[in-house]
Amino acid sequence: MIHLILGQFGYMLSFGFASWGDHLRERYPVTTWPTPQAVAEIVTAIEAQPRLEKTAIVGFSLGSNAAAWIAAATSHPIDLIVAFDPTRQGASLSDYALGKHVRRAICFKGVGYWPSSWFAGGGQLVGPQVEVIPTSTDHLMMQFDNRLRTLAEEALSETLL
């Protein structure tokens, strides 16, 4: 099961990410969460899953931060987290280090100086299982970046199939 978490303002600023979720739905069971503020609901949904069912959390922008918050709020096994440019605004992600119940995490970290990257993105998930992949793609454009999507899909395939 993939839990796809959109960024701040939901579909308005994450429509490319939501559309990619529709593509993923052709191969996997996907639940799209339109707001990163639904942390408690997402935790409840994950904890209701059978422990043997593989679980992935994929987030964009503040939805990536929510993935770390969710991991901190549950001890349910999480097989993969893919974070598309977590925001560096708000609560520090260093306060939400991924626990041992998270097997693998990939963090696409924006390192560019594009317009939307000035005020969003640039954050990083924390933990020994986190693979950080720097990218100069603009924060808002990451949701459309086919190279990053392909890397994420390869990790999802390795993990879920």
- Which amino acid is residue 155, in one-letter code? A
Does any domain span residue 105? yes
Mean pLDDT, rounded, of the chain: 93
Does any domain span residue 28? yes
Percent of the chain past pLDDT 70, that is, above it, reads 98
Does any domain span residue 150? no
- The number of domains in the chain is 1
Does any domain span residue 31? yes
- Which amino acid is residue 161, in one-letter code? L
Does any domain span residue 160? no
Does any domain span residue 94? yes
What was the pLDDT predicted at 140?
Answer: 94
Say which residue, 140 or 112, is predicted with more confidence.
Answer: 140
Contacts of 143 (CB under 8 A, 6+ apart): 14, 16, 17, 20, 60, 84
Residues 115 and 67: their CA atoms lie apart, in Å, by 25
Q: Is the pLDDT of residue 90 over 70?
A: no
| Domain extent at residue 20 | 7-116+123-137
Does any domain span residue 146? no
Residues 49 and 120: their CA atoms lie apart, in Å, by 32
Does any domain span residue 77? yes
